[in-house]
Each structure stands twice: as structure tokens, then as C-alpha cells.
Structure 1
């Protein structure tokens, strides 16, 4: 299977994962004006990565900032049907002054998408 086929086959799940990451960001209390980039499947750069154990190709999707110099997120589909995604937020929490939002993550399979925010304590 080539790269284009992997992109097409994973589209529906990828768009659900992107939506879940976006919801996780918004549930923290950020407004759309606070976030410069939200994860969108069509905005990703795609590559195939060989699974060292199964020998199959995994689709990896990477998001970059505007000048495309720094990676701000990734989503990988594994040959066993699982996925893992992370997307950077890197901002102080909008309502909890002692917290900093590093990013959001999502993982699972098509039937079960789990997600959470990665929060850090602000130094005193």
C-alpha cells in the first residue's frame, strides 16, 4: 500500500482524532483567538514509517508551525489498528493560574478514542 492509500484509509479516524484534540483544547477554556493552530488532517505532512516489529508501514502525520520550522504535533497510525496523537498548546491555563498547558494527547482505536490534556504546575 502506498502513502496516498494510507492517507485515504485513515482519513475518517484521523478527522475524529483531530476533532477530539480540538475539543480537549476548547474544554480547557481557550477561545479560538487564543489558539493559532488547531490540528487538521489536511494540514499535516505525511510519511510512512516501518514498524520494526511487524514490518508493516505505519502512517505518521506531523503538524508544523507557520514557518514550518518547529513540529507542533503528530499522529501515528500503527499496523495493529491503534493510534497515538499529541498536539502542543504551550500556554498558561486560561482559568487555573497555577497550571500550564503543555499540550493534548489522544490514543486508542477506532471504537475507543481517549484523550487528555498535559498540564504542568507553574513554578512559584
Structure 2
């Protein structure tokens, strides 16, 4: 199946995943200006990747910053599940003991879960 067909198949869910991730990022206390790049589904560059276990094709999208450094990825698996991660790489805005590495999301069309990847801040 070609990339464009897979993209259209997952576009609504992809938009919802991005909104959930942005909501979780804002809930931490970050503002829109704090986020490098733009966490928009259509803003990712998509390709098809072969799942090594099922040999099926997965839709994989990557987000890049202005310097062409990858800052996030989303993958829709052949079993209808997904996993996404978007780099934050900033001190937590309200809890100085934490550093926010990234925001991740996983699930399927029936449910989206999000979680911040936190590291202890350096003192």
C-alpha cells in the first residue's frame, strides 16, 4: 500500500494523537512558544517501514526541526496500534527537580495514552 493511502487512513487519528500530546505538554506548563518545531500530523515526513515480526508495512512519520534534526516520530503498526514520541528537552516549567526529555503517546483508535519522559534535573 502506498504512503498516501496509509496517510489518509490514519490522518484523523494522527491529528487526534497530536492534539492529545500537545494538551499533555501544555498541562505540564509549557506554552506553544516553548515547543521546538510544530507537533502537527501533516508536518511529519512519512514513509512505509516493514515490521520485522509480521512483515507487514507500518506507516512511520518523523518530525524535524529547522536544522533537519529529528525531533519526533509516530508509527502506526499493522495491528492498528501506534506509538509516538516528541522531544521536549527542557527543564520542567513548574517542577524544577525534573527535566522533560519527551512526550510519548501510545494506544489505538479506542484509546490514546500520553506520558512525559522525565529525568531528574542536574543540580
Q: Shorter-normalised TM-score: what interval?
A: over 0.9
Q: TM-score of the superposition, structure 1-length normalised?
A: 0.95
**8 Å Cα contact 2:36-2:88 kept in structure 1:** no
Measure, in 1, the Cα distance between the counterparts of 2:20 and 2:42. 16
Counterpart of 1:30?
A: 30
SS of the residue 1:123 aligns to: coil
Q: How many residues align?
A: 123
**8 Å Cα contact 1:58-1:77 kept in structure 2:** yes
**8 Å Cα contact 2:59-2:77 kept in structure 1:** yes
- Alignment pair present for 1:100 and 2:114: no
Show structure 1 runs of 5+ residues with no match: none
Q: TM-score of the superposition, structure 2-length normalised?
A: 0.96
Q: Deviations over 1:5-56 (max 9, x none)?
A: 0010010110111111111110100112222323111110001001122111
SS of the residue 2:18 aligns to: helix
Measure, in 2, the Cα distance between the counterparts of 1:59 and 1:34. 28
Measure, in 1, the Cα distance between the counterparts of 2:45 and 2:86. 14
Q: After the TM superposition, which parts of structure 1 deviate over 3 Å for at least 4 consecutive aligned residues?
A: none
SS of the residue 1:66 aligns to: coil
SS of the residue 2:13 aligns to: helix
* RMSD across aligned positions (CA): 0.9
Measure, in 2, the Cα distance between the counterparts of 1:121 and 1:32. 23
Counterpart of 2:119?
A: 120
Shift of 1:83: 0.2
